[in-house]
Homo-oligomer: A and B are copies of this chain.
Amino acid sequence: MAAPPKTCKVILADTIAKRLLQEVKDTLASIGNGKPTLVAFLANDDEAAVKYAEYSQKTCEENGFAFDLRRVDKEELEQQIREANEDSQVNGILVYFPIWPDNIAKDNYIKESIALEKDVEGLSFKHLSNMYHNVRYLDPPTNQRKSILPCTPLAVLKILEYLHIYNPILAEGNRLYGKTITVINRSEVNGRPLAALLANDGAQVYSVDVTGVQLFTRGGGIKQVRHQVEDKKDWGLKDVLPISDVVIGGVPVESYKVPIDLIRDGAVCINFSSYRNFDGPAVKEKASIYVPSVGKVTIACLLRNLVRLIANHPDKNNQQARNEAFLDG
């Protein structure tokens, strides 16, 4: 039998990133804050981080932001972050992790040392805990300051919106209801927050890593405060891939490949690993939509977060607002 003609649509991150960046530019113009500055601390020799930093710099400059890459010694990092926290010229701060690969607690301490109002990656405890509990604002019940979501999970959400996997006919907070999604990766930075966010929006999410499968669900309704997690003992990809509408790969290992033969015909496949978790030619014979990488969307989300931080603090960041406050006073 002849091979079936290809029907898979390949969507490049660039297409989606461009749309988001236009939104970011428009929002930046509307809050009239001049050229915001993002400070990035590099305290390791990670070549991937250097490349990512270079691309971030380029994207910042193209979109009206200043990007200030600071190479610092590990031992100086905390002090440098403190100074940036205090510096009114700095609007957002990020750190390239890991700093101490063998000491998660030390990396976590660094994460927490970034001021909440400059935590552009949304990795501080307050931002993460809001995300896990489906709390959208930092200042309830006033609800003027939006909580920040981590960039890569947010990028995947934005991609799923672009791909019409979020159904706009349904109520906000329920737009993934009826969808089954597998996320292969359950890291604290990417896979677990992503599974929680998808479950909070109504999806049935199978979160898979080497330790096994967990099912994340929102629970019964759309007013549920947070998702629920259940261990699926003895389950594996063989159980979850055939029933998944969307398969998201994020395994940071070059040799890892998702078993395409288990994927349902016409599924949507998205890769957020810096390695290709899907074999390109094979996945195109099986998927309806394939997104081979998300990096450019992640950077667009970083700038989206930065603009959100600025909008959260018009008093601190907006010269005009500051002047008006002075004149009023």
Contacts and interface: CB of A to CB of B under 8 A. Distances in A.
Interface of A: 2-7, 9, 11, 162-164, 167-171, 174, 177-179, 202, 204, 219-224, 243, 245, 264-268, 288-289
Q: Which of A3, A7, A219, A245 is the most central at the interface, judged by chain B CB atoms within 10 Å of its CB?
A: A7
Given A4-B220, A7-B222, A178-B265, 4 more contacts: A6-B221, A169-B289, A243-B243, A245-B245
Contacts of A5: 220-224
B164 A169 contact: yes
Copies of this chain, tallied across the complex: 2
Contact of A177 (B167, B221, B288): B288
Nearest to A246: B178
A206 to B, nearest CB: 14
B4 A170 contact: no
Nearest to A264: B178
7 contacts: A5-B221, A5-B224, A162-B169, A163-B167, A178-B267, A204-B265, A204-B266
A6 B202 CA distance: 12
A174 B7 contact: yes
Nearest to A217: B265
Nearest to A8: B177
A165 to B, nearest CB: 8
